Amino acid sequence: MTQRIRPFTPVDVYFVVQSCGKLGKRAHKVISPLFETRSRAHAELTRLRSERTDKVLSVWKHTTQVEPAEWLANVVMVP
């Protein structure tokens, strides 16, 4: 079986987060794998909501920072 090799990393990834749901509290936990599309993350959100009816769940997006081309080279610090 041939494994599919991705030539790039997606700029945006989506995932499902569980929040504590308490006002003034910022406790969040990622509870899903990372998805390349918002629609796949929402499908997972729907599935998880059917299992965890008492939890506050939402889809979050993370965008990677793209470094300038000159940062992609190896750098050696001289003491």
Residue 39, in any domain of the structure: yes
For residue 4, the model assigns a pLDDT of 65
State whether residue 63 is helix, strand or coil: strand
Which residues constitute the domain of residue 39?
Answer: 12-64
Q: Confirm if 75 and 30 have CB atoms less than 8 A apart.
A: no
Residue 57, in any domain of the structure: yes
Residue 58, in any domain of the structure: yes
Residue 7, in any domain of the structure: no
Residue 37, in any domain of the structure: yes
Residue 74, in any domain of the structure: no
Residue 5, in any domain of the structure: no
- Into how many domains does the chain fold? 1
DSSP 23-38: TT---EEE-S--BSSH
How far is 41 from 58, CA to CA, in rounded Å?
A: 9
Mind listing the pLDDT tens digit of every residue in the chain (79 residues)? 556 665 666 678 999 999 987 777 778 899 999 999 999 999 999 999 999 888 899 999 998 776 666 655 565 555 5
pTM (predicted TM-score):
0.66
Beta strands at 12-19 and 28-30: parallel, antiparallel or unpaired? antiparallel
For residue 68, the model assigns a pLDDT of 62
